[in-house]
Amino acid sequence: MSICSMTGYAVTTHETSGGTLTIEIKSVNSRFLDLQFRINDDLRALESGLREALMSRVTRGKVECRLSFGRKVANGGTQALNTVLLADLSLMQNEILQRFSSAPPMTVSELLRWPGVIEEASIAQDTLQADVAAVMSTTLNAFVESRTREGSALASMLLSRIDAMDAIVLKIAPLIPEVVAQFQQKAIERLQEALGLAEQNSGVSAPKLLTREESLERIRQEVTLYGIRIDVSEELSRMAAHLNETRQILKKGGQVGKRLDFMMQELNREANTLGAKAAIKDLADASMELKLLIEQMREQVQNLE
């Protein structure tokens, strides 16, 4: 199943028997489906059909749909004046001039621009509705295709970032046992010295505050706790699992935006924990690289449907 971006654009212009019909659809990202229509008042009755068509193909995004219809003039291209409307305008103008003698009369240019003065070709509502449905279908197909193309590009980018994060995890995972062992050994030496179990360079033993057995038990407890604090094996295992799940979501396709947004939160949590528990520079650097890649992914995930 394809992955769609929430960003898309398509426009279709079609010549019908009654005039030029144009439908334009564009969208940007949004948490939910937000439909907006730009339609002339005389075509407002067609909005419900456009809304149903969009809702059948789009689930998320701020979508704007524009419908315009330039009617042809009557009599096969020969322009004609609407004499009835002109007569009404003349009567209204005379009445206004009687009350406001200083008001200037309408010019010919103003009269020609008055809606309906130039008669337009008549077209049946059923015919217009059928034409709009056909043009909407064509435009919507192109619109969905544009979202699918961008979605495919975003999916490829996300997969490349997942591969990069996998490489980082595989690189630092073997370091963990060695890091824990080294720091435990250092902790043992320091605690032995602090508790009076290690001889000084001068050969004189430090004063003992605890028995040997008590000191060894204290050292064992402290070293164990310290080893737990710096051991990030579990964080790396969870991150590897999250990366695998993210890859599976992308491969499955469909409406993945919200699921991937959740996975970004989980990945970021593990990367932050890794940085907080980093005992060596390599782990701290790895945490920063992982968080950078996660942030790059998060920005693009916000655009997926």
What would the pLDDT profile of 52-83 be if each residue is shown by its tens digit? 999 999 999 999 999 998 766 555 555 567 77
What pLDDT does 69 receive? 86
- The single-letter code of the amino acid at 178 is E
* Beta bridge mates, 249: none
Query: Domain locations in the chain?
Result: 8-72+131-149, 81-113, 152-301
| Residues whose CB is less than 8 angstroms from the CB of residue 192 and which lie 6 or more positions away in sequence, other chains included | 198, 215, 219
Torsion (CA) 202, 204, 210, 215 in degrees, nearest 10: 40
More confident residue, 112 or 148: 148
Question: Measured in whole angstroms, how far is the alpha carbon of residue 107 from the centre of its chain?
Answer: 53
Sequence-ordered list of residues with C-beta below 8 angstroms from that of 168, at least 6 positions apart, any chain = 286, 289, 290
So what's the pLDDT on residue 43?
A: 85
Work out the pLDDT band at 295, boundaries 50, 70, 90: very high
Q: What percent of the chain has pLDDT over 70?
A: 75
Q: Determine the pLDDT at residue 297.
A: 95
CATH class, range 8-72+131-149: alpha beta
Q: Worst-scoring range by mean pLDDT, 37-41, 150-154, 175-179?
A: 175-179
Q: How many CA atoms lie within 13 A of 14 on its CB side?
A: 19
Alpha helices, DSSP H only, in the chain? 47-57, 83-99, 108-113, 125-172, 175-194, 212-230, 233-252, 257-276, 281-301
Looking at residues 38-53, what average pLDDT do you find?
90
Would you state the pLDDT for residue 302? Answer: 92
Mean predicted lDDT score pLDDT of the chain: 82
Confidence check: pLDDT of 289 > 90: yes
Structure tokens given for 150: 């961008």
Q: Is 84 exposed, middle or buried (0-12, 13-18, 19+ CB in 10 A)?
A: exposed
